Amino acid sequence: MQGQALPGFRDFYPEDFAFRNSIFATWREVARRYGFQEYDGPPLEPLELYTDKSGAEIVQQLYAFEDKGGRKVALRPEMTPTLARMVGARAQALKKPIRWFSIPQLFRYERQQRGRLREHFQLNMDIIGEAGPAADAELIAAAIDIARAFGLGAEHVRLRLSDRRVLTALLQTHPQFHGERIRIAFDVLDKVERQNRNETERRLREAQFDASAIERLFEIASLKGIEAVLAELRRCPDGPAAGESLVAVITALGAMGLSEFVEVDLTVVRGLAYYTGTVFELFDRAKELRAICGGGRYDNLIKEIAGMDLPCVGFGMGDVVLGELLTEHRRRFEAPGQLDAFLVAVGGEDVAPVLHLAAGLRDRGIAVEYALRNQPIRKQLELAAARGAPRAVIIGPDERKAKVAVVRDLKTGKQRKVALTKVRKGVFK
RNA sequence: GUGGCUGUAGCUCAAUCGGUUAGAGCGCUGGACUGUGGCUCCAGAGGUUGCGGGUUCAAUUCCCGUCAGCCACCCCA
C-alpha cells in the first residue's frame, strides 16, 4: 500500500462525502431557519491569534510552523478568534445583534482517538452584540433543533445547562472559594463526573481546600434541576440575582417547547477559560460518546482581541461525534443516484446518436451517463443499475428507423417506446 | 506527550504444536449471455501477513524496535 492519509486526517470517498454533505445541508438548513448568515475566514492564521488568547502551551497542540516569509502561522484550531477579528473590524457598521454561522475545517495536533481527530468540520453559530438571556436561549434552541432535524429526539440526546455566574455565587458562600481559587473549583467540577470521589477529594486537598470546602463542592455538584439550584441560590446573598439569566433561558426554552431536552447540571463548566456566563453541552443520552456540541457566553473575548466591547454567545458542533451518533442510530446517509438517465447504444453505429443525445440532454441540465466502451446491452444495463440511474434510454437501429427510444424503468423493468423528439427534451414518458 | 491492547486481500475473517504453495465469503473484472440489469454457475485479478530486525532447519505464528489503529490518561476544536 503506497501511502495513506496522515494520522487523524480523513479521506472522503463518495459515500463518505455524501454523508458529510447531508450533515452540512442540515446544519445550513437549521441556521437558515434561525436567520443566520454564513461566513468564513482563512484556514491559516497568524500564530499569535491563538497564543495571545490561549497561552503558549496550546502551541504544542497547534499545527504551527514558519512560512517562507518567516511568519509564524498556524492552522486554525477554532473559529472564535477569527470571528472576533472579523466582527471587530466592522463592529461599527454591523447591525446588532449579529447572527453568523460558519462550517470551518479545524485542526489540532493531538493524538487521535474515537471522536477526536486532528481535523474536523465544526458548525459554529454565534450571536454577537446581545447581552440578554434571550440570545442564549436562541442558540440553545438552534442546537437542539439541529439534533431534531437529524431525527434525534429527547430520548436520544439531552442538553446539559449551567451558568458560571450561578456557580460562582454558590461557591462564594464558602470562604475558601475566592478569586483564583474559584478557577480551581471550576476545573474540579468539570471532571467530577468522570472521576471517582476519592480522586476528586485528593485533588482538592492538594489545592489546600479543607473538609468543609470539599463538602460544599460536592453539595453543589449534586444539585440537579433548576428547582434544586434555585432553592440553594435563595440561601446566598447575591444568589437570586446570579440566577436570573439561567431562569430566563429555561423559561424561553420552555416556551419553545424544548423543556424535555434540557437539564440543569452545574458540573457542566467547559474547559475554555473565556466563558463568562451560560455554558451548555449536548450529549447522547447513553453518554457513550463525547459531547456533540458545546458552547456558552463569552462576553469579554472580542474586547480582548479586537478592543470592541461586544457580548457574545455561541457554540460549536463537530461532524465527528455527530456522525458517529447518526451512524449508531442507523441514519447513515445513502449516496443518492444523481443520474436522470443512462443512455444505451445497442451497436457501434448507435454510439454517435447516443453521444449527440447525451450532449443535448446535458445542455438542458439533465444528468446522463453512457458506457465508454462498446458493450453488450446486458453490460450497459448492469452499469446503469449500479449507477443508480432511474431509467435507461436504449437506442438501436430499429429505434432510429422509427425515430423513437426505448425507455426502460430500471426499478420496475417496464419499458415503452417514446418519440425521440420528446426524449431530446428530457421527456421520458 | 504517557501507558495498555491490536495489525493477514478493497471489506469481514481463516490458517492445527512454529512446518514448507497463506485460504474463504462479500466486492471487483471477464465468461456462460451476439437487443435487455438484479438470479445462478464458471474463471480471473488482487497479499512484501503494517514495516524493519532477531531467534530457528523453518516465522502469519516466538522476541525486539518502529509505524498505524483502538482504549485509557492528558486535553478538550
Residue A394: give its domain's CATH number: 3.40.50.800
- pLDDT for residue A125 is more than 90: yes
**Is A168 among the domain residues?**
yes
A34-52 average pLDDT score: 91
> Sign of the CA dihedral A350, A352, A354, A360?
negative
pLDDT of residue A425: 96
pLDDT of residue A289: 75
Q: How many CB atoms lie within 10 A of CB A244?
A: 14
User: Does residue A97 have a cis bond before it (omega within 30 degrees)?
Assistant: yes
Task: Say yes or no: A293 and A408 in one domain.
Answer: no
Task: Say yes or no: A124 and A162 in one domain.
Answer: yes
CA A139 to chain centre: 13
**Is A163 among the domain residues?**
yes
Grid coordinates of A86 = 472579523
pLDDT band at A307 (very low <50, low <70, confident <90, very high): confident
pLDDT of residue A416: 95
**Is A334 among the domain residues?**
no
CB of A112 lies under 7 Å from some atom of strand B? yes
Of chain A residues 338-357, which have a beta carbon within 7 Å of strand B?
346-347
pLDDT of residue A357: 97
Range of the domain at A372: 341-423
pLDDT of residue A360: 97
The answer to whether the CB of A331 falls within 8 A of the CB of A149 is: no
- pLDDT for residue A411 is more than 80: yes
Q: How far is CA A263 from each of CA A149, A270, A390, rounded to the nearest angstrom?
A: 20, 16, 47
Task: Say yes or no: A212 and A84 in one domain.
Answer: yes
pLDDT of residue A177: 82
**Is A389 among the domain residues?**
yes
Helices (H), A172-238: 180-191, 197-206, 211-221, 226-233
The answer to whether the CB of A286 falls within 8 A of the CB of A104 is: no
CA distance A350 to A341: 17
- pLDDT for residue A356 is more than 90: yes
Taking alpha carbons only, the member of A174, A272, A155 closest to residue A216 is: A174
User: Which nucleotide C1' is nearest A113 CA?
Assistant: B70
Task: Say yes or no: A173 and A311 in one domain.
Answer: yes
The answer to whether the CB of A247 falls within 8 A of the CB of A166 is: no
Task: Say yes or no: A406 and A279 in one domain.
Answer: no
**Is A5 among the domain residues?**
no
- pLDDT for residue A333 is more than 60: no
**Is A280 among the domain residues?**
yes
Task: Say yes or no: A197 and A292 in one domain.
Answer: yes
CA distance A10 to A411: 34
Q: What whole-number percentage of chain A has pLDDT above 70?
A: 95
- pLDDT for residue A332 is more than 70: no
- pLDDT for residue A180 is more than 80: no
pLDDT of residue A2: 47
Number of domains in chain A: 2
Q: Protein contacts on strand B: list nucleotides below 7 Å from a Cβ.
A: 1-2, 10, 28, 30-31, 33-38, 48, 50, 67-77
CB of A416 lies under 7 Å from some atom of strand B? no
Task: Say yes or no: A314 and A377 in one domain.
Answer: no
pLDDT of residue A59: 64
User: Which nucleotide C1' is nearest A409 CA?
Assistant: B37
Task: Say yes or no: A303 and A355 in one domain.
Answer: no
Q: Which of A87-91, A220-224, A284-288 has the highest mean pLDDT?
A: A87-91
The answer to whether the CB of A380 falls within 8 A of the CB of A342 is: yes
**Is A6 among the domain residues?**
no
Task: Say yes or no: A317 and A403 in one domain.
Answer: no
Q: Give distance CA A3 / C1' B57 (Å).
A: 37
A352-357 average pLDDT score: 97
Q: Is the model more confident about A30 or about A266?
A: A30
Q: Is the model more confident about A5 or about A375?
A: A375
User: Which nucleotide C1' is nearest A395 CA?
Assistant: B35
Of chain A residues 231-250, which have a beta carbon within 7 Å of strand B?
none
Q: What whole-number percentage of chain A has pLDDT above 90?
A: 52
A31-36 average pLDDT score: 96
Q: How many CB atoms lie within 10 A of CB A288?
A: 12
A343-350 average pLDDT score: 95
Which residue is closest, via its CA, to the C1' of B69?
A: A113
- Last residue in a domain, options A328, A351, A383: A328
pLDDT band at A424 (very low <50, low <70, confident <90, very high): very high
pTM: 0.89
Ranges of beta strands (E only) in A300-403 are: 312-318, 341-345, 368-370, 391-395
pLDDT of residue A394: 97
Task: Say yes or no: A279 and A402 in one domain.
Answer: no
CB of A378 lies under 7 Å from some atom of strand B? yes
The answer to whether the CB of A300 falls within 8 A of the CB of A276 is: yes
pLDDT of residue A335: 58
- Last residue in a domain, options A328, A353, A381: A328
DSSP state letter for A106: E
- pLDDT for residue A272 is more than 50: yes
Enclosing H/E stretch for A87: helix A80-89
pLDDT of residue A259: 93
pLDDT of residue A98: 95
CATH number, domain of A300, equals: 3.30.930.10
CB of A316 lies under 7 Å from some atom of strand B? yes
CA distance A261 to A282: 9
CB of A318 lies under 7 Å from some atom of strand B? yes
CB of A397 lies under 7 Å from some atom of strand B? yes
Taking alpha carbons only, the member of A40, A240, A252, A41 closest to residue A130 is: A252
- pLDDT for residue A303 is more than 50: yes
User: Which nucleotide C1' is nearest A384 CA?
Assistant: B37
Grid coordinates of A258 = 424544548
CB of A366 lies under 7 Å from some atom of strand B? no
pLDDT band at A1 (very low <50, low <70, confident <90, very high): very low
pLDDT of residue A213: 79
Pairing of strands A119-128, A98-102: antiparallel
Task: Say yes or no: A237 and A274 in one domain.
Answer: yes
Q: How far is CA A238 from each of CA A234, A335, A425, rounded to the nearest angstrom?
A: 8, 56, 74
CB of A108 lies under 7 Å from some atom of strand B? yes
- Last residue in a domain, options A276, A303, A328: A328
- pLDDT for residue A341 is more than 50: yes
- pLDDT for residue A56 is more than 60: no
A269-287 average pLDDT score: 83
**Is A52 among the domain residues?**
yes
pLDDT band at A57 (very low <50, low <70, confident <90, very high): low
Q: Give distance CA A272 / C1' B77 (Å).
A: 11
CB of A81 lies under 7 Å from some atom of strand B? no
CB of A270 lies under 7 Å from some atom of strand B? yes
A405 phi, psi to nearest 5 deg: -130, 150
A402-408 average pLDDT score: 97
pLDDT of residue A199: 75
CA distance A178 to A172: 6
Measured in residues, chain A has a length of 429
Q: Is the model more confident about A281 or about A198?
A: A281
Q: Is the model more confident about A209 or about A331?
A: A209
Of chain A residues 180-199, which have a beta carbon within 7 Å of strand B?
191, 194
A67-94 average pLDDT score: 91
CA distance A316 to A124: 5
Q: How far is CA A233 from each of CA A90, A165, A211, A259, rounded to the nearest angstrom?
A: 40, 11, 22, 21
Taking alpha carbons only, the member of A108, A145, A64 closest to residue A315 is: A145
CB burial string A111-123: b at 16+ within 10 A, e below: eeeebebbbbbbb
- What mean pLDDT, rounded, does chain A reach? 88
Task: Say yes or no: A301 and A415 in one domain.
Answer: no
CA A179 to chain centre: 35
CA distance A351 to A371: 9
Q: Give distance CA A90 / C1' B53 (Å).
A: 62
